[in-house]
Structure 1
Amino acid sequence: MAAKTVLNYLPRESVIHKMTGTTKLAFFLLFTFASMITYNTWVLLGLLVVSLLAFRLSRIKFREVRFMMTFMLVFLLLNNLFIFLFDPNQGTTLYGTRTVLCHLFWRYDLTAEQLFYMVNISLKYFVALPVAILFISATDPSEFAASLNSIGISYKVGYSVAIALRYIPDIQRDYHSISQAQQARGVELGKKEPFFKRMKNSVNILLPLILTSLNRIDTISNAMELRGFGKNSKRTWYTQRPFARRDFIALGVGAALLLISLTVTIRFGRFYNPFL
């Protein structure tokens, strides 16, 4: 089922999973800031190596997150396409040079600077995605709620986020179950069916899914109310782990990456231009 669901926790015996939720949240934020503030290709390549290494250390298989990877690639292709369609000279404006490779049509010239700019855009996505997937897939929802509470966010907000993260895989499993049950009853959703008929048949899946979801939400709400949730201003967490050496190392690595990214950006600028 792991390969059929997204945004779900994947338990493993790895050094990444053994870190505290606070450490993973802090590293995710430091790493994201480090990748956001620069377009320097060499910095992004270094961050990509760290990102892939962290993904490998987590022991999460590619097939388990294949859907998110595929979705990112499709989004990335569309993003680059629209960047080129709306402003084909964005790269030449940023890098200050213009090297025309070929003329396509109308005002669209394919320039080396534009290609290099879109490569850097793509690289930023490839840098951030593995760490984002790790943060979701290697952090238990209750542990994530504890980490949010540890940095000053209300435990009610943290608990709501934890419930949402636990609820997403349940919705996906319900969808697959209802879909298979409806198809067994003759409700066709295949590509051979006309588009509007598929849309109509989809209602037979969405309505039971919505009703099931509302019933589950009501059950959770009643259970929390019976347990007196929200009565006190603070709460304790069973899943909150003590800091260990690996946590301090991860935080040090994240801070060092952010410092390197800032230093290179301030000294050499956000954009590395190989065409000068």
Structure 2
Amino acid sequence: MSKTGSLYVEGNSFFHRMDGAVKLILLLCWTVVTFLFLDFRIFAVMLTAGIVMLLTTGIPLRRMSLLFGILMLFTMLNSVFILLLTPRFGTSLTGSDTPLIPLGYNMINQETLFYVLTLSLKYLTLLPITLLFIFTTHPSRFAASLNKLGVPYKMAYAVSIAFRYIPDLTQEFRTILNAMQMRGLGISRGDGSLWRRLKNLSLVVVPLLQSSLQHIESVSDAMDLRGFGTGRRRTWYMGTVMSIADKLVILLCVLLVGLAIFLKLQIFRGFWYPF
């Protein structure tokens, strides 16, 4: 957790200096382009470009390990469910059927396996840009940028609070979990069956919700005491001015989406299957 109480990691890279709203536009455009295609080649190029951009920020890999692990777990579970529930789905996309792995009740074919690989790469393509946005965007600067784009400042400030509260919620979860483990709550291997450990882990939810509600009430009272929301406009201590580089990035985003739409309509129209 950074000194700001958020996931933001201090730095002086190009993306750290970039306006928060511009990074949001980049993330949205990247997401739109990603979901336009179902082509392994496109995703390979985008993933490589995203990794290069992420590495230029200098963010320690250990800071990103948790979010990376969560996405990898989601991707693996999604792939397994597709292969088990629709083992021949790839045939509907390619028109061919190449049996590969027997399941007893059905057969996973080569087409579905390649489809799952392409879909997994599609999700991974979003990871570098998402991590870049999360770890290089200061909550206060981001809220100011949103307000500058026309988003009501109350909504912008709510986004800022959400960014700040994620690490606090994580720390509170760990604190409650450690306290309950000291009282004999078993969630580790050797403390019973998997179902028993999951049931014990679910007991953390109630005190976590109570603690969260107390935090919300405290923040709400503090904002009311300071007269938040009484004015139609407000100033921002950490507001920034959009630079020429930021405007060029917006232009590149527009060109990227335009190029992607053209390629989708003219060249990469459907699912790419090389075999």
TM-score band w.r.t. shorter chain: 0.7 to 0.9
Q: Report matched runs for 1:28-47 at 5 Å.
A: 28-47=27-46
Q: Is the 8 A contact 1:35 1:261 kept in 2?
A: no
Q: Report matched runs for 1:180-195 at 5 Å.
A: 180-184=178-182, 187-194=185-192
Report the counterpart of residue 14 of structure 1 in structure 2.
Answer: 13
DSSP-derived class of the 2:131 partner: helix
Distance (whole Å) between structure 1 residues aligned to residue 43 and residue 224 of structure 2: 48
Distance (whole Å) between structure 2 residues aligned to residue 98 and residue 188 of structure 1: 48
- Measured after TM superposition, the shift of residue 150 of structure 1 is 2.9
Distance (whole Å) between structure 2 residues aligned to residue 61 and residue 197 of structure 1: 32
Structure 2 residue runs without a partner (length 5+): none
Q: Is the 8 A contact 1:20 1:240 kept in 2?
A: no
DSSP-derived class of the 1:101 partner: strand
Query: 1:273 aligned to 2:273?
Result: yes
Distance (whole Å) between structure 2 residues aligned to residue 219 and residue 194 of structure 1: 39
- Measured after TM superposition, the shift of residue 137 of structure 1 is 1.6
Of 209-218 and 225-234, deviating more is 209-218
Distance (whole Å) between structure 2 residues aligned to residue 93 and residue 184 of structure 1: 54
Q: Report matched runs for 1:132-171 at 5 Å.
A: 132-171=130-169
Report the counterpart of residue 120 of structure 1 in structure 2.
Answer: 118
Aligned residues: 270
Q: Is the 8 A contact 2:13 2:58 kept in 1?
A: yes
DSSP-derived class of the 2:100 partner: strand
Q: Is the 8 A contact 1:37 1:270 kept in 2?
A: no
What is the percent sequence identity of the aligned residues? 33
The TM-score with structure 2 as length reference comes to 0.87
- Measured after TM superposition, the shift of residue 208 of structure 1 is 4.6
- Measured after TM superposition, the shift of residue 207 of structure 1 is 5.0
DSSP-derived class of the 2:73 partner: helix
Of 61-70 and 242-251, deviating more is 242-251
In structure 2, do the counterparts of structure 1 residues 183 and 111 end up closer, same or farther at CA, with 3 Å as the change threshold? closer
Of 27-36 and 128-137, deviating more is 128-137
Q: Report matched runs for 1:1-276 at 5 Å.
A: 8-108=7-107, 110-184=108-182, 187-194=185-192, 196=196, 199-200=199-200, 203=203, 206=205, 208-268=207-267, 269-275=269-275
Distance (whole Å) between structure 1 residues aligned to residue 186 and residue 160 of structure 2: 35
Of 155-164 and 206-215, deviating more is 206-215
Distance (whole Å) between structure 2 residues aligned to residue 273 and residue 233 of structure 1: 55
Q: Is the 8 A contact 2:186 2:200 kept in 1?
A: no
